[in-house]
Each structure stands twice: as structure tokens, then as C-alpha cells.
């Protein structure tokens, strides 16, 4: 809790959120706000951690590593989600989530089901 680090190890997709939302839909607290991301919106809210398009909410499978207590992936609200396509990929910039390009997260969202295993490694 509070580390901002992406939890490593075995996980599963616990929930899929945003199936009917348009590309660029903005989420706060796993709820679509009705907004669509744009540079103008970003300028109005410069401190938002942009969670866009789709959310795959993860749940850890390894007690003491990414499940239960202060290391629980689900309670930390760790997702695979879309972000602004202008953001760099492959660098730590979220609060522990895995960010993807919007088109890529839509494609992944359609390929996986709830319960799909996910392995997060360095």
C-alpha cells in the first residue's frame, strides 16, 4: 500500500470494466465520467491520473506477495488500463497500474475473460 509500485507475480483478471464505452472514455473510481479524453480536458485537469477506455482489474494470487494485507493487488486498485496515447510507454508513471495505448487495451479486453491468468515480471 502506498508504494506506487506495480506488484509482481501471478494475478488473474478479476473484473472487466468499460465494454460499451467509447475509446478515450474517462474513468474515475472505475466509473465512466461521461467525458472523452482530449488535450483540452487534460489542460483543465493537469493532476488527473488518466484511466481511459477499458479497465482490467487485477487480483493477486500469491499471499504475502500480491494478495492480502498491505500487498493486496485488488485492494490497491491495480489495473491494466488505457491512457493518453501521447504518454510514454515502458516507464513508471502510474500508481502501480499497467498503462497501455487505447487501441491495444481494447484489443486485449476482447481477448481475455474474467479469471484469465496474468504474470507480471520485470
Q: How many angstroms separate the CA atoms of 27 and 115, rounded?
A: 22
Cell output for 86: 501521447
Q: How many angstroms separate the CA atoms of 97 and 5, rounded?
A: 8
Report strand pairing: 51-60 vs 79-82: antiparallel
pLDDT above 90 (res 19): yes
Domains of the chain (ranges; CATH) run 9-120 (2.40.440)
| pTM of the predicted structure, to 2 decimals | 0.91
Q: Do residues 17 and 28 make contact, with C-beta atoms less than 8 angstroms apart? A: no
Q: How many angstroms separate the CA atoms of 7 and 53, rounded?
A: 22
Q: What is the largest CA-CA distance in the chain?
A: 43
Q: Which residues pair with 28 in a beta bridge?
A: 31
pLDDT above 80 (res 92): no
* Average pLDDT for the chain: 92
Per-residue pLDDT averaged across 48-76, rounded?
A: 95
Amino acid at each position: 500500500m502506498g508504494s506506487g509500485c506495480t506488484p509482481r507475480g501471478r494475478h488473474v483478471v478479476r473484473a472487466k470494466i468499460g465494454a460499451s464505452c467509447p475509446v478515450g472514455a474517462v474513468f474515475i473510481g472505475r466509473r465512466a465520467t461521461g467525458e472523452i479524453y482530449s488535450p483540452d480536458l487534460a489542460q483543465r485537469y493537469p493532476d488527473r491520473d488518466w484511466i481511459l477506455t477499458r479497465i482490467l482489474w487485477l487480483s493477486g494470487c500469491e499471499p504475502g506477495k500480491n494478495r492480502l494485507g498491505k500487498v493486496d493487488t485488488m485492494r490497491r486498485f491495480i489495473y491494466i488500463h488505457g491512457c493518453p496515447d501521447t504518454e510514454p510507454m515502458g516507464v513508471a508513471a502510474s500508481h502501480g497500474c499497467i498503462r497501455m495505448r487505447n487501441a491495444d487495451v481494447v484489443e486485449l479486453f476482447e481477448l481475455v475473460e474474467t479469471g484469465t491468468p496474468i504474470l507480471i515480471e520485470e
